[in-house]
Structure 1
Amino acid sequence: MGFATVRATDRCPCGSGDTFGDCCGAVLAGFPPPTAERLMRSRYSAFVVGDAPYLSATWHPGTRPDTLEPDDALRWTGLEILDVSEGGADDKRGVVEFRAHWRTARERGSLHERSRFVKQSDRWWYLDGQVR
C-alpha cells in the first residue's frame, strides 16, 4: 500500500479541517505543538506519511523503543479525538483518547488508545498509551 503523499494544500490527515501546511505539516517541519492534542494529531499525521524520525523525536526518551518503523502495509484513514484531559499550553501533563482508523489490502480496523503526554522544558512528549 505505501505511505500517503500529502501536499501542503491538502486537508490535514488529522481531521482538524485545516490544510496540512498550516496544521501538522508545520509541526512535522519543526514548529512545536502547543498542546498535547496537537502533538497527538501530528503524530497521527506522521504515521500517515511514514515519518519515523518525527515519531521517534516526539516519543519521551524514557519510554521510547529502540527502533520504530511504521508499517507501510497499513493505510491510516481517519482520526477521531474522543476525549482530552488537561494537556493545554500551561499544563505539565495531558491525556488524549482517540480512535485511529486503518485498512490494509485485506481488512479494516481501528486503534483505540488513551495516550499520556508530558511537558518538559516547554516541550510536549508522547509518554505512553493504553490500548482500549
Structure 2
Amino acid sequence: MKCPCNPNVMYSVCCQKAHANISSVATAETLMRSRYSAFVLANIDYLQKSHHSLTRPSKSEKRKIEAWAKSVNWVKLEILHTSKGTNSDTEGTVEFKAYYIENVQMGVIHENSNFKKENGRWTYIDGLHKP
C-alpha cells in the first residue's frame, strides 16, 4: 500500500518503519509524517507513544481522538516548513497542513507543531493551530 504521508512511496519503506520502531525516527519531520499516517490508519497507540510524556492525552482523550480519526476521510499531508529537528537537534518545529473530509466537507488542520527529544527519541509536544 502507498504511504498516507506520501503517495509516491510505499508504506513498508516509509512510516511502517516508524510505527514498528519509534526509536528509528531520525527527524522531527519524519515523526510528523508518521503521526499523520497513524491518524489515517487510526493507530492511536502509536500516537500516544509518539507524544511527549508531559503533554500525552489521557485515556478518555485517546478514545475521542480515535473516534474522530476513524470518522473522517484523510486526503493528504502537506509539509510547509521545518525548523531544526534534525538528528543532531533536540528540538524542532514542523508546519503542515493535513486535509480531510468530514460530513462531505473539506477540512484542514494547519499547525506549527513543536517536537522535542525525550529519552533520546523524537516526541510531539504540542502545536499552534493557524487559521
Provide the TM-score with structure 1 as the length reference.
0.88
Secondary structure, in 3 states, of the residue corresponding to 1:56? helix
**Deviation sequence 1:3-55 (CA, Å, 0-9, x none):** xxxxxxx2211017321000001111115210000000000000000000000
Aligned to 1:19: 10
More helix by share: 2
Structure 1 residues 120-129 or 48-57, which shifts more?
120-129
More strand by share: 2
- Measure how far apart 1:77 and its partner are: 0.8
- The percent of aligned pairs where both chains have the same amino acid is 40
Aligned to 1:90: 88
Secondary structure, in 3 states, of the residue corresponding to 2:88? coil
- Measure how far apart 1:120 and its partner are: 2.5
- Alignment of 1:34 with 2:26, yes or no, is yes
Equivalent AA in structure 2 for residue 130 of structure 1: L
Alignment gaps of 5+ in structure 1: 1-9
- Measure how far apart 1:75 and its partner are: 1.3
**Deviation sequence 1:44-84 (CA, Å, 0-9, x none):** 00000000000001100101110313211111110000000
Map 1:1-132 to 2 at 5 A: 10-15=1-6, 17-31=8-22, 32-67=24-59, 68=62, 69-70=65-66, 71=68, 72-132=70-130
Runs of 4+ in 1 over 2 A off after TM superposition: none
Residue 47 to residue 13, structure 1, CA distance change in 2 (3 Å): same
CA RMSD after TM alignment: 1.2
- Measure how far apart 1:121 and its partner are: 2.4
Equivalent AA in structure 2 for residue 84 of structure 1: T
Task: Give the whole-Å Cα distance in 2 for the aligned partners of 1:53 and 1:121.
Answer: 18
Number of residue pairs the alignment of both structures matches: 123
Secondary structure, in 3 states, of the residue corresponding to 2:18? helix
